[in-house]
Chains A and B, each alone.
Chain A
Amino acid sequence: MSLNVIHNQLQQAWQQLDQQWQKTTALWDDPVRWRFEQDFWRGLERQVPATLQAIERLAQVIAQARQNVH
């Protein structure tokens, strides 16, 4: 599986989870949720885009390497 496919699949999964989160926060608004958001969700919001970016960067370099190395 190419890194571009992996990147797209992870991005799609993340979008789906984020949509579910938005839906849930509209129905769950109390200190427990705020704490959950602070302790877990914000960390996830940092980690996933950073991972997607790292995969994207790696995919670019690997694609260029494959094109240029004979």
Chain B
Amino acid sequence: MSLSARVRSVQALEELKSALARFGIEAQTALHAARQELLCTEECLRQRLAYWQAEVQRRQEEVRLAEATLARCRAAGYRDPRTSASYTPPCIAEQQAVQQAYARLQKAQEELNNVRRWKYLVDEAASAYSLQAEQMSRFLSTDFPNATAFLGEKVRELQAYLTAAPPTGTGGAFPVSPAPTAGTTPGGTASAGAGPSCGWVDTGIQMVSLDQVDLSDSPVADTGDFHKVTAQEMQEGLRKLQDVVAPAVAQGADGAYFSRLDAAQGLDYAHGYRRIYDAFYGQDCIRLDKVGDRYLVFNGYHRLFVARQLGIQSLPARVMAPRP
């Protein structure tokens, strides 16, 4: 059984794709910076290890020299041949020097052991980190491009559908994606024809009261969210709709009529009435899903936002309703 696609904002998919791409770059940058930081720390520890190893050797030599000095001092004792009394020099300074040399050696050995211990702990943490970083890096280099490409493809499919869908249809439904095949990357191609038990019926263009349109999930919060067309251009378009296009359509005018009207008035497409007709009655029309007595927005958040700002009560929109 095929299931209907339920995407109510192509823009949201585009934004997700952009957000994924941004995150991918930021994550790669973070992994690189962390690797640099780790290498720097490892190098620092290697240098400290070499330093304390050299210090231990140097202080061992100090001990050897101090002991030799003490030995020479003690060897300086003698027996007085006249009194037969033995004289042993105190060698206090030499003994202190030996004690100090041993203390310095012990300190260096403690520092060396300390560096070895921390080097071991850092190496251990680095191994655990590197394992995870490698997995993340692999994910970023393989799954991420696939995911962003998939989203890009999905956006193109939806845009193509929005452009190519027939204005009315017998059993016309939202584009459906084949049920995903296990073990494959998602990427079903949009195609027409929902299953009879779960399809949506195109009820055609209707005037819909804006009070019934649910804009709670609208990505448009203010005029800063307009990118392709400015809010001002859209306001002008809505006025043309109300003043000219909608009344003419109510009397049977079609796209060709507005093309002739534009030609007669010397208006190009961008500034003419045909564009307004296409935006509300043609291939670019607002698309809504009727759920109960509410309408969920599939396409047209920006137009609906501006219409509400202008106090417009109703707009033409293509309404999809669940198949009875």
Contact = CB atoms under 8 A, between A and B. Distances in A.
Interface of A: 1-3, 6, 9-10, 13-14, 16-17, 20-21, 23-24, 26-36, 39-40, 43-44, 47-48, 50-51, 53-55, 57-58, 61-62, 64-66, 68-70
Q: 3 closest A-B pairs (Cβ-Cβ)?
A: A35-B186, A54-B132, A35-B180
A32 B115 contact: no
B147 A31 contact: no
Interface in B186-207: 186-188
A58 B125 contact: yes
Contact of B177 (A1, A9, A30): A30
Nearest to B139: A47
B179 A31 contact: yes
Nearest to A8: B30
Contact of B9 (A27, A55, A62, A70): A27
B249 interface: no
A23 B18 CA distance: 14
A13 B217 contact: no
26 contacts: A16-B23, A20-B15, A20-B16, A24-B13, A24-B15, A28-B6, A30-B5, A32-B5, A32-B177, A36-B150, A36-B186, A48-B136, A51-B31, A51-B135, A51-B136, A53-B132, A54-B128, A54-B132, A58-B38, A61-B121, A61-B125, A62-B122, A64-B121, A65-B119, A66-B44, A68-B114
Contacts of B135: 47, 50-51
Given A23-B219, A36-B150, A13 B122 contact: no
B133 A13 contact: no
Given A28-B7, A28-B12, A30-B4, A13 B26 contact: yes
B146 interface: yes
* Dominant SS among interface residues on chain A: helix
Contact of B41 (A10, A34, A40, A66): A66
Say which size band chain B's interface belongs to. Answer: 35 or more
Interface in B1-34: 3-9, 12-13, 15-16, 19-20, 22-23, 26-27, 30-31, 33-34
A39 B146 CA distance: 11
B147 A40 contact: yes
B287 to A, nearest CB: 13
B45 A65 contact: yes
Given A23-B219, A51-B136, A31 B180 contact: yes
Interface in B121-161: 121-122, 124-126, 128-129, 131-133, 135-136, 139, 143, 146-147, 150-151, 154
A65 B13 contact: no
Contacts of A69: 45, 48, 114-115, 118
B213 to A, nearest CB: 15
B285 to A, nearest CB: 19
B15 A43 contact: no
B118 A64 contact: yes
B122 A65 contact: yes
A26 to B, nearest CB: 5
A18 B121 CA distance: 33
Given A17-B20, A31-B177, 20 more contacts: A6-B37, A9-B26, A13-B26, A24-B16, A28-B7, A32-B186, A33-B7, A34-B180, A36-B186, A40-B143, A40-B186, A48-B27, A51-B132, A53-B132, A54-B133, A58-B125, A58-B128, A62-B122, A65-B121, A66-B41
